[in-house]
A = this chain, B = another copy of it.
Amino acid sequence: MAAAPTETDPFLAACAGQPVRHTPVWFMRQAGRALPEYRALRGDGSILESLTHPELAAEITMQPVRRYGVDAAVVFSDIMAPLWATGVGVDIVPGVGPVVEHPFRSEDDLRRLRPLVAGEDMPWAGETIAMLTEQLKVPVIGFAGGPFTLASYLIEGRPSREHQSTKALMHAEPELWHSLLQRLVDLAVATIEDQVAAGAAAVQIFDSWVGTLSAADYDRFVLPAVTRFFDDTRHLGVPRIHFGVGTGELLHSMASAGAEVLGVDWRVPLPAAAERAPEAGALQGNLDPAVCLAPWPVVAREARRIISERPAGVGHVFNLGHGVLPETDPDTLARLVDLVHEETAG
């Protein structure tokens, strides 16, 4: 029998820390309001409702692949979708974000969080991914919300700068907190299993707001749950990307949870990230999305800085440090993909 073939898809190879023909690029929120074709197609309707139309969701997912030439397609969805699909009253309010009808307050609210039966509750999610894998040559990335971030939306009822109600509940009622996180991890595991079954070649866990915690609180209140997520999805055999914003002091803990790839925001230089998280086989990031609003020479300079600084011996998936800002000029992102490909071809 021959040795296992070297992975030749740049995105999957980079996730595995293997040699690549060029550094792969994708952008968080690449399918979205920065694209005129997205705005034209989506109109003003509910985002969550739009997800139930697989052809629409697949088309939106493919728009940035065509436009930018990125190396992976991230499925058009929302981290609140599984909660919504299981009956939690939530809406994505334009200009605000997720707004939860009845914020999570007490033990009683646990009963409102029932397990996800993906094929029944959100059959459209798998159908969208199945369509995409049929039509696309690049890998499709599925995703789910991380437990702290989903808990924060449920508890605060809306986006929050301080996450104070979330932290107050976490500290005052640690058993209730851990029960809540267990349910949210169950939800994430079921979501991801369904996405991989439908053909997703990689997944990302967005624990976007976890960087608001001190390392001591992260280790006590989030790490056990997120470690269970990675334990329970390891058998799926796809690379898992673990991402949050402002996580400079958490990278060591986050990497210990078990992801193959660690997503890093723009605040932490990649060499510092590699030093703090030696377990990470690959890093993803980390151009400041706001830099993409600058004139092209600035974007090019910053992209080159990231490429030249990145540490040896660890895979690299080029991405922004957070989602594409709606004001971004699509041409900038198209040029950025070309620049990364050219600078790293070898």
Contacts and interface: CB of A to CB of B under 8 A. Distances in A.
Contacts of A249: 248, 267-269, 272
A242 interface: no
B211 A164 contact: no
B267 A172 contact: no
A171 B269 contact: no
A171 B295 contact: yes
Contacts of A266: 214
A339 interface: no
Interface in A159-180: 161-164, 167-168, 171-172
B305 A171 contact: no
A342 interface: no
A80 B298 CA distance: 31
A168 B215 contact: no
A162 B289 contact: yes
A325 interface: yes
A288 interface: yes
A164 B305 CA distance: 20
Interface residues of A, number: 35
A291 B167 contact: yes
Interface centre among A211, A266, A327 (most CB of B within 10 A): A266
Nearest to A326: B164
B162 A290 contact: yes
A232 interface: no
Given A172-B294, A214-B266, A269-B215, A164 B246 contact: no
Interface centre among A162, A167, A290, A291 (most CB of B within 10 A): A290
A168 B294 CA distance: 5
A163 B290 contact: yes
Given A161-B161, A171-B291, A248-B249, 5 more contacts: A164-B290, A167-B288, A172-B294, A214-B266, A249-B272
8 A-B pairs with the lowest CB-CB distances in the bound complex, closest first: A171-B294, A167-B290, A168-B293, A248-B248, A171-B298, A164-B290, A214-B266, A249-B267
